[in-house]
Structure 1
Amino acid sequence: MSTKMEFHFTLGPVQAFVAQARRTRDFWAGSFLLSYLSGVAMVAAEVAGARILFPKPDKRFLSAIRGDENSPQSLPSQGSIPNRFSAEVSETFNAMAVVDAVHSAWCALAELVWEGDLQSIATPETQAVWQGQVEHFWDITWVITHQNADLPALETRKNMRTQYPPEQAGHKCALMAGWQELSGSLKPGKAHVREFWQTVKNTVKHKDIRPDEPLCAMAYIKRRFCHYFADLKVESHGFYLHGWKVPVSVPSVALMAAVPEIAHIGRTLVSAPSQEFNTFESQWKAAGGQYGERSSLPKELQAIQDRMATKLCLDGNAWHPSVYQSPKTYELKPEKCAQTKKALTTLYRRMALNPPSPFYAVLMMDGDSLGTQMSQVGKQESISEALKTFTSSVKESVDDAMGYLIYAGGDDVLAILPLDTAIQCAIDIRKRYMECFKVVNDERKKEPAAADREPIITSISAAIIYTHFKTPLTKILLDAHYVLDNCAKEGAGRDALAIRVEKPSGRALDWAQPWEHALNEDLTALAITAQFTKTLFGEVVEAEASNSFIHKLRDRLQTLIAKPNECNEADLTLLKHVISADLKQSSACQDLPITDIQQAVDTLLHQCIPHKRMGENNKPVPKGMPKIDGALLALFLASKGLSRIGGV
């Protein structure tokens, strides 16, 4: 009788492959491919006799990899499998079969892209760079231990680095830092590099490729794999691994910023197109504009377009007036841009709309303290079950918020969303997460050994980055990780929401609070509500009045606190009355009862005071003196990012 062992597997590098992205599709592609290769490892492990312990795999994803799933509606289009897992195996388990399967799937996909795009134009230098990068990029780490062994075996193995990429000479990739681009040129200057990439663009004939954007092999595969993934079929150790049809485009960040306005236009025109819309669309075509969002509209917009004669799938850039001031950047005809912008302005005026906010949101969420509980054998099955249910429910929340889900696997979530809906989406996902764990905890109470079944204590933290659609995406993804780890988890003590606003001119604010402090009493909305901001700034946020209030508030916070870095109830009472009196004299608030103003100011001040979970009961307590960031956030949300805040 063979002894049961545990197989632990991880695939990396995660950040280098996923987070280095210029476009939303790069971001999605990295996440999807990492999930796919991790899924390949799971399938190979199961074929070799393993039983996956954690996390519970997405059966739909694994069925698609095996080629068992043929329904287009059931084929996955988002990553949902974490890059690490553990499985129960026998002593005779062949771990190298798992490694071989991952390598075979990756190399076969790379070969499809190479043959379809580059083989006919490749130089020997290009082929050498391609092969070296494809074959040496992934760092696969695995260990086999005795079951329930209480030692960090996988982490110890990961520290014993054995994967070293080849030396990267020449010019570097525009997407993935440090990797050589594919021309292989070692000549000084970039003329030869640009010439090579112009040839690639002329051959591929697709906007995926730009002459001024040289790519390494991994970045090129991310950019182009979706055109070839359906043709992937490779044999490994007696079984086949398959690809399937995936989206060739995902929503651009420019589209995501404009979603509320596009939705309003679509709902208005669903029964009959308007002359203003037809004129704008015609001018967009004349300017050389594309229809780059054909298969990437959020669910509600797609449903609207399916019912109307006109098209909402213009490139996301089309909806932003500022784009027409930089025609070269967006490959538009300069002589046509003035008329196109005029037609767009006329359309917005006809619809009684302001132009879209240039801001969208990146939402990143991560469960708190699950790692320590996973080490407790009696909790592993329940945690896996809760996470499986949670993962399958996240897409509905993101779809309802007219966003796009990049990844949901285990306790991790990554999505892009319109400015208007990001916070509510995060609140809804948190609610789903807590409900999933409540269900498994209730089930644990019913089991025969319930007295010995400790509840699973967990929560989920969130980071939201509001940023301009022209800001480099790689920077924002790195910022999101920092804000989640350092502001929500470390700064506010976990089970918290952290928000950063990143404007083109620099960071505008950082704000973080534990969830129950950030939300209203029934935990259904942010305490800084629309009604609250109307009290402070009026129905229409006027730049001069709002900035005057912010400057006055900053001055009051600096001068009316009795002791530095300390704020007591007496200070807050004084601040509330003085700031309320300031507001009562403003045009926005002069007709409001002083009690309503004081209530709004009281809410504002409590959202300006940082709180952190501390002590045995883990309750939020004030930590430090009030900061202006709470008021800056209120103004940002009220103005949809169009007012200057914090001097930027």
Structure 2
Amino acid sequence: MTQDKKYFHFTLGAVQEFVAQAQRTRDFWAGSFILSWLAAVAMRSVQKQGGTIIFPKPDDNYLNCLEGQGKNQPPAQGRVPNRFKAAVNHNFKPEAIVDSVQMAWRELAEVVWNADLQAFCQNDSIHRQIWDRQIGGFFEITWALTEASNILDRRKNWRTHFAPKEPGVKCMSMAGWQELSGIRSPNKTELENFWRAIGEKDFLCAIAFVKRRFAVHFENLGKEKKIKMPGGWVLKGWKLNAGVPSLSSLAPESAPFYAILLMDGDSLGKHLTDTKAATKISDALENFTRRVPELVSRHNGFLVYAGGDDVLAILPLEDALSCAKTLRDAYEKAFEGTGIHSTLSGAVEFAHIKMPLTKILRDAHSLLDNVAKDGCGRDAIAVRVWKPGGKAAEWAMPWKQALDDDGRLVIEKVAEAFRNEKKKDFSRKFFYRIRERFDLLNPPKEGKAILDQAQACHLLAADYMASGVDKKRKLRFAKAKKVIDALLIQCRRVIREVDDKGLERLDADAALFVRFLATKGVD
């Protein structure tokens, strides 16, 4: 880095509040898309000042689409991370980047206001006052201009942003924000009359309303009014498909569960201080990100976000684990030949359709960070099952132990074996008594296990046969032992640091998760 050059570090928040607070899948997708779009606006503004994006590698087609010059299909999902690093000249103006992001957000909001609210709300009304206050004060933009390259590398992508104290009735989607009618105290009739006229059932704040409606009007951004950005470039929108699949379409009545898949690269930050390594990582992540949409689609899923080493998707129950494994393979493939060892951890939340989407989204980050990464030592997969009564099961395993020699998920193979038993012979009793059995088999805090793996397998195979599955002796004992042995391996919770052999105990939740997969959640 020469003396007349510096590093510009940019972070856009509040990610967690904007994306995760969502009543519908459309809101969930919209938050991710808008945040990514605004980050892309920031990148383009840096380039217009002669800066070079160092990390991550920019998506040229995405940035060109901002000016209506994209040659390929315009983006339909978020693809740009909410933070980046750029090399800039000594006369670089960071404030112009902040102005560009704020301007783009205000102009998008204005397109929505003009199309959906202007006919019902005067510009000098209480509704407009609420709108301007909320639109103008939401996003948190952090930047630094320095000669150091890693000043913001330690900051989390997902950050907490607290809403200001606001009066009146609160938004049904985003906690703490006043809804737009301006009614000071709850009055169901007045509230319903106001929102019915607009065509919405939910009582929404300005931010949530933009998320709900922007996709319908995004292509009109810059059409009636030329939006000239700082740096002299012109901002334009493009046509988006507003038909985001609902949770009910992913979770049929016969198996009313859907899955949230969240994946994230492990410990990439330690390589980013090396400029050569950072370039290789950036190229590898671009290759990975380019493949993600097709891979998620192949597994019947809906991609919410794919940028850098992050992936967020919604999938049917039966496709989620195999999608996670496929993405892990693609991630490792992208890093082949770079000389950089990087792994991908994943979290899968299986949730009943009656569970609040926001709760599941928030929990996914805890599951990934605290269980897959900190608990399993990274390079792992973690799962939780949520039923209307609460958490029903949790399972986590390093990828090395989760996959067999052929690269298949062992736990899915075990579930398939149980699923193939005739329905009338399938034993609930065996699975719900397994916790009791594990309490006997697990060693005390200080001491050795009562039985070794072979002995425990023999005992549980006999128990399985006695539970009713083998009433007609169609299942041979050897077959039972094979199934139970695979089950026990997946039930041994592995708590380890990287490169450590680890500590193992039998965990009944893994067996209950197998039963969940085998029955698709239907008791």
TM-score (norm 1): 0.75
**Could you tell me whether the CA contact under 8 Å between 1:43 and 1:66 is conserved in 2?**
no
Q: In the superposition, relative to structure 1, how do residues 115 and 534 fare at CA in structure 2: closer, same or farther (>3 Å)?
A: closer
SS at match of 1:491: coil
- Equivalent position of 1:114 in the other structure: 113
One-letter identity of the residue aligned with 1:225: F
Per-residue deviation, residues 263-322 of structure 1 (Å, max 9, x unmatched): xxxxxxxxxxxxxxxxxxxxxxxxxxxxxxxxxxxxxxxxxxxxxxxxxxxxxxxxx3xx
Cα deviation, residue 620, structure 1: 5.0
One-letter identity of the residue aligned with 2:384: R
SS at match of 1:420: helix
Per-residue deviation, residues 616-639 of structure 1 (Å, max 9, x unmatched): xx155333x211111111111111
Distance, in Å, in 1 between the alignment partners of 2:221 and 2:378 is: 42
Per-residue deviation, residues 227-278 of structure 1 (Å, max 9, x unmatched): 11101121112210111001111111111123xxxxxxxxxxxxxxxxxxxx
Cα deviation, residue 545, structure 1: 4.5
**Could you tell me whether the CA contact under 8 Å between 2:9 and 2:152 is conserved in 1?**
no
- Equivalent position of 1:599 in the other structure: 482
One-letter identity of the residue aligned with 1:494: R
* 1:259-274 matched pairs, under 5 angstroms: none
* 1:62-73 matched pairs, under 5 angstroms: 62-69=63-70
- Equivalent position of 1:230 in the other structure: 219
Alignment equivalent of 1:374, drawn from 256, 272, 278: 272
Alignment equivalent of 1:257, drawn from 251, 255, 258: 251
Q: Does 1:190 align with 2:88?
A: no
Between 1 and 2, higher relative CO (CA 8 Å, sep ≥ 6) is seen in 2
Distance, in Å, in 1 between the alignment partners of 2:163 and 2:257 is: 38
- Equivalent position of 2:210 in the other structure: 221
Per-residue deviation, residues 419-438 of structure 1 (Å, max 9, x unmatched): 11111111010001011111
Q: Does 1:414 align with 2:312?
A: yes
Alignment equivalent of 1:239, drawn from 233, 238, 242: 233
Q: In the superposition, relative to structure 1, how do residues 565 and 457 fare at CA in structure 2: closer, same or farther (>3 Å)?
A: farther
Task: Mark the runs of 5 or more structure 1 residues left unpaired by the alignment.
Answer: 202-208, 259-319, 321-355, 442-455, 644-648
Alignment equivalent of 1:640, drawn from 515, 520, 523: 520
* 1:318-329 matched pairs, under 5 angstroms: 320=253
**Could you tell me whether the CA contact under 8 Å between 2:301 and 2:315 is conserved in 1?**
yes
Matched length: 512
Cα deviation, residue 439, structure 1: 3.0
- Equivalent position of 1:27 in the other structure: 28
SS at match of 2:203: coil
Q: Does 1:582 align with 2:463?
A: yes
**Could you tell me whether the CA contact under 8 Å between 2:376 and 2:497 is conserved in 1?**
no
- Equivalent position of 1:86 in the other structure: 85
Distance, in Å, in 1 between the alignment partners of 2:270 and 2:375 is: 20
- Equivalent position of 1:177 in the other structure: 175
Q: In the superposition, relative to structure 1, how do residues 235 and 154 fare at CA in structure 2: closer, same or farther (>3 Å)?
A: farther
Alignment equivalent of 2:508, drawn from 628, 632, 645: 628
- Equivalent position of 1:248 in the other structure: 242
Distance, in Å, in 1 between the alignment partners of 2:283 and 2:490 is: 36
Cα deviation, residue 103, structure 1: 1.2
RMSD: 2.3
- Equivalent position of 1:43 in the other structure: 44
| Greater Cα shift, 492-501 or 532-541 | 532-541
- Equivalent position of 1:433 in the other structure: 331
Distance, in Å, in 2 between the alignment partners of 1:567 and 1:538 is: 36
Q: In the superposition, relative to structure 1, how do residues 169 and 478 fare at CA in structure 2: closer, same or farther (>3 Å)?
A: same
Cα deviation, residue 167, structure 1: 4.1
Alignment equivalent of 1:365, drawn from 263, 266, 278: 263
Distance, in Å, in 1 between the alignment partners of 2:300 and 2:150 is: 44
Distance, in Å, in 1 between the alignment partners of 2:154 and 2:479 is: 58
Per-residue deviation, residues 569-591 of structure 1 (Å, max 9, x unmatched): 83433321211112223442332
One-letter identity of the residue aligned with 1:581: A
**Could you tell me whether the CA contact under 8 Å between 1:466 and 1:500 is conserved in 2?**
yes
Q: In the superposition, relative to structure 1, how do residues 494 and 628 fare at CA in structure 2: closer, same or farther (>3 Å)?
A: same
**Could you tell me whether the CA contact under 8 Å between 1:136 and 1:164 is conserved in 2?**
no
Q: What fraction of aligned residue pairs are identical, expressed as a percent?
A: 42
Distance, in Å, in 1 between the alignment partners of 2:419 and 2:46 is: 59
Distance, in Å, in 1 between the alignment partners of 2:76 and 2:460 is: 51
Q: In the superposition, relative to structure 1, how do residues 565 and 54 fare at CA in structure 2: closer, same or farther (>3 Å)?
A: farther
Q: In the superposition, relative to structure 1, how do residues 53 and 549 fare at CA in structure 2: closer, same or farther (>3 Å)?
A: same
Distance, in Å, in 2 between the alignment partners of 1:164 and 1:483 is: 22
TM-score (norm 2): 0.93
Q: In the superposition, relative to structure 1, how do residues 499 and 566 fare at CA in structure 2: closer, same or farther (>3 Å)?
A: farther
Q: In the superposition, relative to structure 1, how do residues 560 and 84 fare at CA in structure 2: closer, same or farther (>3 Å)?
A: closer
Q: Does 1:495 align with 2:379?
A: yes
SS at match of 2:260: strand
* 1:266-415 matched pairs, under 5 angstroms: 320=253, 356-415=254-313
Cα deviation, residue 115, structure 1: 0.9
Cα deviation, residue 402, structure 1: 1.0
Q: In the superposition, relative to structure 1, how do residues 567 and 406 fare at CA in structure 2: closer, same or farther (>3 Å)?
A: farther
SS at match of 1:421: helix
SS at match of 2:427: helix
Distance, in Å, in 2 between the alignment partners of 1:529 and 1:105 is: 46
Per-residue deviation, residues 59-96 of structure 1 (Å, max 9, x unmatched): 1111111210266xx11101000000110001101112
One-letter identity of the residue aligned with 1:16: E
Q: Does 1:559 align with 2:443?
A: no
Q: In the superposition, relative to structure 1, how do residues 398 and 566 fare at CA in structure 2: closer, same or farther (>3 Å)?
A: farther
Per-residue deviation, residues 483-514 of structure 1 (Å, max 9, x unmatched): 11111011111100001110112110011000
Cα deviation, residue 558, structure 1: 1.6
Distance, in Å, in 2 between the alignment partners of 1:521 and 1:152 is: 40
**Could you tell me whether the CA contact under 8 Å between 1:535 and 1:600 is conserved in 2?**
yes
Q: Does 1:526 align with 2:409?
A: yes
**Could you tell me whether the CA contact under 8 Å between 1:79 and 1:406 is conserved in 2?**
yes
- Equivalent position of 1:136 in the other structure: 137
**Could you tell me whether the CA contact under 8 Å between 1:125 and 1:185 is conserved in 2?**
no
Distance, in Å, in 2 between the alignment partners of 1:529 and 1:40 is: 42
Distance, in Å, in 1 between the alignment partners of 2:163 and 2:359 is: 24
